């Protein structure tokens, strides 16, 4: 369960990706357009005929897999059946996408998609999809957890991380709250240039050690939040003016394993 005052926001990819490669979950706004693209993380949308298959049941014909893609070029809002690569690579292995990072065309095996894609090389890592169902999502690797977004169009098993760790995730990713489940997950780093107190409209727009949360003390950003520092409840002096108090991130008794000491610098 996400703690109080934390904005459920969309995730963004580094702004180096072209505007045509934007996606609702991992889409980058150009730096000038960031303030126009803030929205709730789980965006209600009319999927219409864009849902051509079910990523949970993988109901495509033999030799194809169900994948998410951006039907309008600006958001992962659709699913479609695509051919499985003749020599597919498995979860955890390097992969390649065709076209943009949100084309839905990659060389991952059925039940996985190419994620953490480098926009310069089109190379990423195969990430397994969650299995079972949306009401009971399963990730076989206990070091990961299921993140579900966009009307279940995207359902990814992403690495769990400790937000108080100095280096919680691999290069190119950062540790952000999982708005559809417990704990924190490693997501694509789109925090370039942001510091504590920076306005933010995306969940992964804040550097490690901070999260995008409502915080009128730090800044006034009606469309989103501000990069608010996290803190260790055992070391409350980690917070400083203008928000000197370290308050529990999770409600009493609701912190996931190993996160009972997690706090947020906020007004008492």
**Every domain of the chain and the residues it spans:** 19-265
Predicted confidence at residue 235, as pLDDT, reads: 84
pLDDT tens, position by position, 211-231: 988 877 888 787 778 899 999
Q: Tell me the β-bridge partners of 122.
A: none
pLDDT 10s digits, 147-192:
887 677 889 999 999 999 988 998 888 999 887 777 899 988 888 8
Q: How far is CA 85 from the centre of its chain?
A: 26
The set of residues, in sequence order, having a beta carbon less than 8 Å from that of 62 and lying 6+ positions away, is none
Contact 262, 232 (CB under 8 A): yes
Give mean pLDDT, residues 39-68. 72
Q: What is the pLDDT of residues 92-123, one digit of tens each?
A: 999 999 988 888 999 999 999 999 888 789 99
% pLDDT > 70, the chain: 79
What pLDDT score does 11 carry? 52
Separation of alpha carbons 15 and 32, rounded Å: 10
pTM, entire model: 0.77
Give pLDDT, residue 47: 40
- Distance of CA 158 to CAs 51, 198, 268, Å? 23, 26, 33
Question: Which of 14, 36, 3 lies closest to 252 in space, CA to CA?
Answer: 3
Distance CA 118, CA 115 (A): 9
Q: Are 249 and 265 in contact (CB under 8 A)?
A: no
């Amino acid at each position: 369960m996400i703690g109080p005052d934390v904005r459920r926001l969309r995730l963004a990819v580094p702004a180096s990706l072209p505007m045509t490669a934007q996606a609702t979950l991992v889409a980058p706004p150009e730096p000038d357009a960031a303030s126009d693209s803030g929205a709730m993380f789980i965006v209600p949308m009319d999927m219409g005929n864009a849902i051509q298959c079910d990523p949970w049941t993988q109901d495509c014909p033999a030799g194809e897999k169900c994948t998410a893609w951006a039907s309008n070029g600006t958001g992962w809002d659709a699913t479609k059946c695509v051919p499985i690569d003749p020599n597919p690579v498995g979860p955890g292995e390097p992969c390649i996408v065709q076209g943009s990072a949100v084309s839905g065309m990659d060389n991952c095996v059925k039940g996985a998609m190419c994620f953490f894609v480098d926009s310069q090389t089109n190379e990423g890592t195969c990430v397994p999809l969650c299995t079972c169902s949306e009401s009971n999502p399963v990730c076989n690797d206990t070091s990961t957890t299921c993140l579900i977004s966009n009307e279940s169009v995207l359902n990814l098993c992403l690495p769990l991380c400790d937000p108080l760790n100095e280096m919680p995730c691999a290069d190119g990713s950062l540790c952000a709250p999982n708005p559809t489940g417990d704990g924190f997950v490693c997501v694509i780093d789109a925090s370039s240039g942001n510091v504590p107190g920076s306005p933010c409209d995306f969940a992964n727009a804040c550097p490690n050690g901070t999260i995008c949360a409502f915080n009128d003390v730090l800044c006034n950003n009606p469309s989103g939040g501000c990069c608010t520092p996290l803190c260790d409840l055992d070391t409350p002096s980690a917070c400083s003016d203008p928000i000197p108090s370290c308050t529990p991130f999770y409600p009493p008794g609701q912190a996931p394993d190993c996160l009972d000491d997690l706090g947020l610098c906020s007004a008492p």
